[in-house]
Amino acid sequence: MKTLGIIGGIGPISTIKYYKQIIEEFKNSRFDEYYPHILIESLNMEEVIEQIDYENFTQVEKILLKSIRNLESAGAEIIVIASSTCHIVIDDLIKKSPLPIINILDCVYDKVVRNNYRKVLLIGNSFTLTHNIYQERLGRYKIKSIIPDSMDIQEIQEIIYPNLENGIVLPDKKEKILKIIKKTIKEERDIDCLIITSTELSLIIDEEEIPIPVIDSANVHINKIVNEILKK
């Protein structure tokens, strides 16, 4: 059984989802009652977000690399970053990391390819959507990514921060997001699935209300993580 190191705190809601769900899936996948050994480093979100906003990616990489080394010192054997946004530096980070990292982009990519989807709708915070984080990875297999228009992205961003980030779900915002998704699906033809890239948005999106299949990036990530920990 491998010890998992989670880099979290960006934001805390996502970290809690990873922690809770890994334990639940772990218990469901075994006959005995066993809990995984997990180490979490929860960073100061404001510090990381500031560096990301200023596009100081070298600094972001430094912060994450320091976290990986801290977690390694504490006994971690595999690393995951509980934030899509931080995956902006994942390729370089994987090269420099002393420990293997389970990449959320690979997990989503695998799921899309397995389902033979060709055109996906991405929804998430404005940084992740406008910096081609998922688009670039999916594009390697000629999968086309659609994002909402810039005004809608701005609107979603304001729904995530500060409300959703603090776990507050407002009913009118729930309607608003659903409207944006449905509008984009209607305008663009042949969208195969919706990919939720910011964990906070899963709080406000009911999969039953979406007319196409939904991939929650954190869920496919967590699934892969549990399989990896259980490997001998």
Angstrom distance (rounded) from CA 214 to CA 142: 20
For a second copy, the binding residue among 18, 25, 38, 195 (CB under 8 A) is 38
CB of 83 to a second copy, least distance (A): 13
Residues between 43 and 62 with contacts to a second copy, criterion CB under 8 A: 43-47
Alpha carbon 151 to its chain's center: 22
Q: Which two tokens stand for residue 40?
A: 């979490």
CB of 226 to a second copy, least distance (A): 14
Q: With CB under 8 A as the contact rule, which of the stretches 8-16, 114-122, 124-132, 141-149 interacts with a second copy?
A: 8-16
Nearer of residues 47 and 55 to a second copy, judged by Cβ? 47
The residue among 69, 109, 103, 110 whose CA lies nearest residue 86 is: 103
CB of 93 to a second copy, least distance (A): 18
Residue 36 in contact with a second copy, rule: CB under 8 A = yes
- Give the three-state DSSP class for 117: coil
Nearer of residues 66 and 183 to a second copy, judged by Cβ? 66
Q: Which two tokens stand for residue 197?
A: 């890239």
Angstrom distance (rounded) from CA 221 to CA 218: 5
Of all helices (H) and strands (E), which one includes residue 121? strand 119-123
Angstrom distance (rounded) from CA 22 to CA 28: 10
CB of 50 to a second copy, least distance (A): 10
> Which positions lie near a second copy, rule CB under 8 A?
9, 12, 15-16, 19-20, 23, 32-47, 70-71, 73-75
